Amino acid sequence: MKILILEDEDNKNNEIQSEINQIIPDAEIQRERNWYDYILAISNTKFDLILLDLVVPRSGKDATVEDHSDQLVSATRDYGSKSFRTPAVVLTRYTKDLGDSVYDLNAVDINVISFNGHGEWKEALKLKLLAAQPKQKYEFVIVCALDKEINAFEGLTDTWGPVKTISGLSCREVQICAYKGVIVRAHRMGLVAAAVVATMALDRFEPRLICMSGICGGIPGESEIYDLLVTQTCHQHDAGKWSNDGFRSEHYDVQVSMDVHNKLFELCSDARLKEFMLEGLNAGKSELPDEMEQLTCNVKADAPTSSGSAVMAEDGQASSLRYGQRKLAGFDMEIYSVYEAARLAANKPAFFAAKTVVDDGGKNKGDKFHRIGCLLSAKFIVKAIRAGIADVGIQLPQ
């Protein structure tokens, strides 16, 4: 957030900046001390918020202090200025001197706040700062439902930011090659939470790519522990109707775009991918299924999966999902919602999901495969972003 302050008094300026830093710690603040430099600043730079006093020196060469009230509107709302639309706040001790002109200033989004020693101005300034924050944009968003799924990315990205709330979402800012992105955590598992978080992220961050990383369950006979399922088509298995005859499902599904599918298929066809996925992963004996002598990972580029809000914890339940879906490979609790949110988003981003099987619906249950599963998924997501999947479908100028 870029903020311009016009203030010649150091003590007052320091108090204002201290208040800003508490509310917007990463705000970029530019201070000017005279009217002439203020005019140059708003003419040449687009700010998100302007905070100014009206009784300041004319210029750096002329220290004559004047009241610039009469020039405020014409200077600040000059169409030739890059900041002519920027909201402005007059922080002054002399509000009575402005008289009825306060109403004229409000009409052009210039508000007057009385700067006094009682501190009321701080709450008014806070509201203005929060309202003026620009929309934060990222090139990609990664959605995860668990902290362990997010933490698997540490060390894989080029930068790793702290957990912080951005536009109401719990996020970590990351950089992968030239792509600036954010990892967003859903407030809980399930379709509803994933739908809410994905929709908010798409609306507020306007990414070119949204994807999902993490762990999932597998369908016996179609996938094994540590298979990475890159979801081509996702179904919703708990939509339908209960009757005396039992549950009758309603068929809903979402597919990734053909451009994204082709890019993922190209990535999965790389003969060196399996070696890359397993590099640096040291699985303990307890982290391997009984039938697996050493860690291995099969990447399935065309895996159909299914999502539902209920956890499947009983033997045989996973197999029942194959009814009507002959090649279903896995199931989770969120992918369908992320895909549907992306499909309906105004900016039409690319989207995909890659999750690792850590539960086969039988004897291989529990948390012992989660660490490796989260790492495998995170490695594939990062590799796909480095390969430029966020650029898929973008029309480049001729």
- What digits encode the pLDDT tens for the residues 73-84? 888 988 889 999
CA 2 – CA 27 distance, rounded (Å): 6
In the structure encoding, which two tokens stand for residue 80, read together? 């030739």
Question: Which pLDDT score is estimated for 92?
Answer: 81
Nearest C-alpha neighbor of 76 from the set 103, 125, 110, 99: 110
Q: What is the pLDDT of residue 47?
A: 94
CA torsion, ordered 356, 361, 365, 367, to nearest 10 deg: 30
Q: Which residue ranges does the chain devote to CATH 3.40.50.1580?
A: 140-391
pLDDT above 70 as % of the chain: 88
Give tens-digit pLDDT for 210-246.
999 999 999 888 899 999 999 999 998 777 676 677 6
Q: Which residues are CB-contacts of 119 (< 8 A; sequence separation ≥ 6)?
A: none
Give the pLDDT confidence of 47-75 residue by residue, as tens digits. 999 999 988 999 999 999 988 888 888 88
Burial class, 25, CB count within 10 angstroms (exposed 0-12 / middle 13-18 / buried 19+): exposed
Percent of the chain with pLDDT over 90: 59
pLDDT at 393 over 80: no
**Span 320-330, mean pLDDT?**
65
| DSSP 8-class letter at 396 | -
Both tokens of 46, joined, read: 């687009």
Give the per-residue pLDDT at 168: 85
Indicate the fold that domain 140-391 takes in CATH: Rossmann fold (3.40.50)
Domain with CATH 3.40.50.2300 in the chain: 2-132
Q: Quickly state the pLDDT bin for 396 (edges 50, 70, 90).
A: very low
- How far apart are alpha carbons 90 and 4 in whole angstroms? 12
- Is residue 121 scored above 90 in pLDDT? no
The CATH number corresponding to 2-132 among 3.40.50.1000, 3.10.450.50, 2.10.240.10, 3.40.50.2300 equals: 3.40.50.2300
Average pLDDT of the chain to the nearest whole number = 87
Give the range among 84-88, 199-203, 225-229, 338-342 with minimum mean pLDDT: 84-88
